[in-house]
């Protein structure tokens, strides 16, 4: 029990307040969603009240969980999509055919309806957004319109040459507990790799950073960053089919391999990014998690982080070679 001094709005004076943690059911579109809440109870008058300065919003938590359950786009992902292409809220709204306040409400946490969710998912694909711009010639200034169309055509070509090949081979799975309730976003996965490989990194170390970034974001914000699946492998958790996507990145020239000779018989491989990561792809929360993971493990050795990952509950309770469920994100050691 936590007791503290504070102002009771009923007594209108300083009294002893008891901080209470509880689980409440919030009904969202007919679906009951349990949400962790906290509030204060005055020990003098018995009045219960929420802290008006608390950043926790039970309704926002319930909306996030509802979106997670139904594989819907989260507010920060909507904002990141718009910012990725340098669009204002008004420009994006006009391209989508929405009223001026609708997009702003969704970016600030309002729960989107099913029709708007489908529109957002379609707009997230470069070729669909390109078509919207082509069909709405008066929505953007001419210079901005041509620049953005060129960017989208380039992305579409890159998607076909790399992302579509990978997704056709390994990425055909739905958003569920094994993908962090997020469909595979190969662009984010690739750029997370480039972010971590900027100064060069060991393969084993890279796999652990990706694992911790995705699971940490799921722990804090209910969804993973990349939608990657992670498997229980001998040296710790690693992205499923990681050898394949590394081979593709190396073949594309995005990564290079440096051989480090420890002796005549022992050779190690470091991965070094050849191109800068496109950080505009990530939301503010995703960038925060990527940076915090890189900082947290910056002075660790490959062996230390590998040993550390072996103690994760999700790793310990998952059979060898099987996928690790993101339901274990809540048990993450960091």
Over residues 28-47, the pLDDT tens digits come to 999 999 998 888 999 999 99
59 φ, ψ (degrees, to nearest 5): -70, -40
Give the mean model confidence (pLDDT) for residues 107-118.
93
Asked if 58 and 48 count as a contact pair (C-beta separation under 8 A), the reply is no
Region of poorest pLDDT, from 13-22, 45-54, 206-215, 294-303: 45-54
Same domain membership, residue 143 and residue 214: no
Confidence of residue 92 (pLDDT cuts 50, 70, 90): very high
Same domain membership, residue 143 and residue 42: no
Rounded to an integer, what distance in angstroms lies between the CA atom of residue 170 and that of residue 302? 27
Confidence of residue 267 (pLDDT cuts 50, 70, 90): low
Q: Is residue 285 domain-resident?
A: yes
Confidence of residue 162 (pLDDT cuts 50, 70, 90): low
Same domain membership, residue 309 and residue 191: yes
Q: Is residue 61 domain-resident?
A: no
Same domain membership, residue 164 and residue 126: yes
Same domain membership, residue 198 and residue 276: yes
DSSP-derived 3-state class of residue 309: helix
Per-residue confidence (pLDDT) for residue 125, from 0 to 100? 84
* Residue ranges making up the domain that contains 252: 186-331
Q: Is residue 242 domain-resident?
A: yes
The residue that leads in pLDDT, 174 or 305, is 305
Could you tell me which residues come within 8 angstroms of residue 135 by beta carbon, excluding any fewer than 6 positions away? none
Q: Is residue 149 domain-resident?
A: yes
Same domain membership, residue 144 and residue 108: yes
Region of poorest pLDDT, from 83-87, 170-174, 262-266: 262-266
Q: Is residue 287 domain-resident?
A: yes
168 φ, ψ (degrees, to nearest 5): -65, -35
Confidence of residue 280 (pLDDT cuts 50, 70, 90): confident
Same domain membership, residue 23 and residue 90: no
Total of domains in the chain = 3
Pick the last residue of a domain from 118, 138, 170: 170
Same domain membership, residue 194 and residue 141: no
Q: Is residue 70 domain-resident?
A: no
Average pLDDT, the chain: 88
The residue that leads in pLDDT, 248 or 279, is 279
Say yes or no to pLDDT of 55 above 80: no
Asked if 230 and 240 count as a contact pair (C-beta separation under 8 A), the reply is yes
Say yes or no to pLDDT of 261 above 80: no
Q: What is the pLDDT of residues 211-221, one digit of tens each?
A: 999 999 999 99
Confidence of residue 121 (pLDDT cuts 50, 70, 90): confident
Say yes or no to pLDDT of 157 above 90: no
Residue 231: name the closest of 257, 252, 210 by CA.
210
* DSSP codes of every residue in 115-149: HHHHHHHHHTSHHHHHHHHHH-TTSS-HHHHHHHH
Same domain membership, residue 223 and residue 148: no
Same domain membership, residue 100 and residue 49: no
Pairing of strands 255-261, 13-28: unpaired
Token pair, residue 228, equals: 């990657």
Say yes or no to pLDDT of 164 above 70: no
Same domain membership, residue 303 and residue 214: yes
Report field, pTM of the whole predicted structure over 0.85: no
Q: Is residue 180 domain-resident?
A: no
Give the mean model confidence (pLDDT) for residues 130-159.
88
Q: Is residue 67 domain-resident?
A: no
Same domain membership, residue 273 and residue 205: yes
């Amino acid at each position: 029990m936590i007791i503290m001094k504070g102002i009771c709005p009923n007594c209108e004076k300083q009294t002893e307040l008891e901080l209470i943690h509880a689980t409440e059911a919030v009904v969202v579109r007919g679906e009951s969603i349990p949400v962790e809440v906290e509030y204060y109870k005055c020990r003098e008058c018995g009045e219960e009240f929420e802290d008006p300065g608390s950043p926790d919003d039970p309704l926002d938590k319930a909306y996030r969980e509802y979106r997670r359950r139904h594989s819907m786009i989260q507010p920060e992902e909507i904002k990141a999509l718009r910012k990725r292409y340098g669009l204002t809220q008004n420009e994006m709204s006009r391209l989508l055919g929405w009223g001026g306040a609708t997009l702003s409400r969704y970016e600030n946490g309002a729960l989107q309806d099913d029709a708007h969710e489908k529109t957002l998912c379609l707009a997230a694909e470069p070729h669909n957004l390109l078509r919207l711009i082509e069909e709405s010639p008066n929505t953007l200034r001419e210079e901005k319109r041509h620049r953005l169309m060129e960017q989208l055509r380039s992305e579409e070509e890159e998607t076909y040459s790399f992302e579509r090949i990978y997704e056709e081979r390994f990425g055909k799975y739905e958003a569920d507990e094994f993908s962090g309730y997020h469909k595979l976003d190969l662009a984010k996965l690739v750029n997370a790799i480039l972010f971590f490989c900027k100064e060069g990194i060991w393969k084993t170390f890279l796999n652990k950073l990706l694992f911790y970034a995705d699971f940490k974001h799921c722990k804090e914000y209910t969804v993973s960053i990349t939608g990657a699946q992670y498997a229980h492998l001998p040296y710790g958790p690693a992205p499923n089919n990681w050898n394949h996507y590394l081979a593709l990145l190396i073949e594309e020239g995005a990564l290079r391999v440096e051989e480090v000779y420890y002796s005549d018989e022992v050779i190690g491989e470091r991965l070094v990014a050849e191109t800068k990561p496109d950080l505009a792809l990530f939301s503010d929360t995703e960038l925060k998690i990527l940076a915090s993971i890189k900082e947290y493990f910056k002075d660790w050795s490959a062996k230390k982080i590998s040993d550390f990952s072996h103690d994760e509950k999700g790793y310990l309770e998952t059979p060898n070679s099987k996928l690790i469920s993101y339901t274990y994100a809540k048990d993450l050691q960091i």
